[in-house]
Amino acid sequence: MYAALFPGQGSHRVGMGRALYEASPAAKEVLDRAEAALPGLLKLMWEGPEEALTLTENQQPALLAAGYAAYRAFLEAGGKPPALAAGHSLGEWTAHVAAGTLELEDALRLVRLRGRYMQEAVPVGEGAMAAVLKLPLEEVQKALEGLKGVEVANLNAPEQTVISGRKEAVEEAAERLKERRARVVFLPVSAPFHSSLMAPARKRLAEDLAQVPLKRPRFPVYSNVTARPEEDPERIRALLLEQITAPVRWVEVLRDMEARGVKRFLEFGSGEVLKGLVLRTLKEAQALSVQDPESLRKALEVEDA
Digit-coded pLDDT (tens) for 15-41: 999 999 999 999 999 999 999 999 999
Using DSSP, state whether 234 is helix, strand or coil.
helix
Quick one: pLDDT at residue 123? Answer: 87
Quick one: pLDDT at residue 304? Answer: 60
CA geometry: angle at 283 spanning 281 and 287, to 5°? 75
- Does residue 88 carry a catalytic annotation? no
- Does residue 96 carry a catalytic annotation? no
- Domains in the chain (CATH in brackets) are 2-121+196-304 (3.40.366.10), 127-187 (3.30.70.250)
Q: Which of 47, 69, 65 is nearest to 111 (CA)?
A: 65
Q: Across the chain, how many H-helices and E-strands are there? A: 14, 10
| Catalytic residue (one of 12, 88, 96, 194) | 194
Contact (CB, 8 A) for 256 and 227: yes
Instruction: Tell whether omega for the bond before 49 is within 30 degrees of 0, i.e. cis.
Output: yes
Quick one: pLDDT at residue 228? Answer: 97
Q: Is the pLDDT of residue 292 over 70?
A: yes
Q: Which of 233, 300, 285 is nearest to 254 (CA)?
A: 285
Quick one: pLDDT at residue 45? Answer: 96
Strands (E), the chain: 2-6, 84-87, 127-133, 150-157, 160-166, 183-186, 221-222, 229-230, 264-268, 286-290
| Catalytic residue (one of 24, 89, 195, 270) | 89
Q: Is the pLDDT of residue 167 over 80?
A: yes
Q: Is the pLDDT of residue 118 over 90?
A: yes
Quick one: pLDDT at residue 10? Answer: 84
Contact (CB, 8 A) for 296 and 275: no
Q: Is the pLDDT of residue 54 over 60?
A: yes
What is the average pLDDT score of the chain? 95
Quick one: pLDDT at residue 11? Answer: 87
Across the range 154-162, mean pLDDT stands at 94
Give, as one character, the DSSP assignment of residue 12: -
Residue 78: count of CB within 10 angstroms of its CB? 9
| φ, ψ of residue 14 in degrees (nearest 5) | -65, 130
Q: Which residue has the higher pLDDT, 304 or 119?
A: 119
Q: Is the pLDDT of residue 136 over 60?
A: yes
Report the DSSP pairing between strands 127-133 and 160-166: antiparallel
Q: Is the pLDDT of residue 245 over 80?
A: yes
Question: What global pTM score does this model have?
Answer: 0.95
Strand order in the sheet with 127-133: 150-157, 160-166, 127-133, 183-186
Quick one: pLDDT at residue 302? Answer: 80
pLDDT tens across 188-229, in order? 887 899 999 999 999 999 999 999 999 999 999 999 999 999
pLDDT tens across 56-67, in order? 899 999 999 999
Quick one: pLDDT at residue 277? Answer: 95
Q: Which residue has the higher pLDDT, 117 or 124?
A: 117
Across the range 46-69, mean pLDDT stands at 94
> Which stretch of DSSP H or E encloses residue 18?
helix 18-23
Report the DSSP pairing between strands 221-222 and 229-230: antiparallel
Quick one: pLDDT at residue 305? Answer: 53
